[in-house]
Amino acid sequence: MSGPGDQVLDRRDVEGRTRRIAFLLEQTAHQGVLALRLLLEARELASVPDDPTTPRRVAELEGRLVALERLGRERLREARRLLRR
């Protein structure tokens, strides 16, 4: 049997999850912005092909993009898990 207190707890739980999901999505969006900046840097590097540091810098940018993608996917998975509870 449920009482009025149960509804308050449920509402608080939903509000907490909603805030957490919103936070995760905000972080994911921020990572998207960072990824776009990295892509712009890569485009700039491509415009200077004679620079001997270009291959190293491109590899570094690629590693950073892969890390951002991995983190973004993990945050989205966490948001989905919260929605399923």
Domain ranges of the chain: 4-84
Q: pLDDT tens-digit profile of 27-68?
A: 888 888 888 888 888 888 878 778 888 888 888 888 888 888
Helices (H), 1-85: 4-46, 54-84
Cα–Cα distance for residue pair 20/24, rounded to 1 Å = 6
> Distance between CA 37 and CA 7 in Å, rounded?
45
Distance CA(75)–CA(25), nearest Å, equals 8
Residue 7 is predicted with a pLDDT of: 60
**Structure tokens of 81?**
């898990």
Q: What's the confidence (pLDDT) of residue 66?
A: 87
d(CA 1, CA 7) in angstroms, rounded, equals 12
- Average pLDDT over all residues of the chain: 81
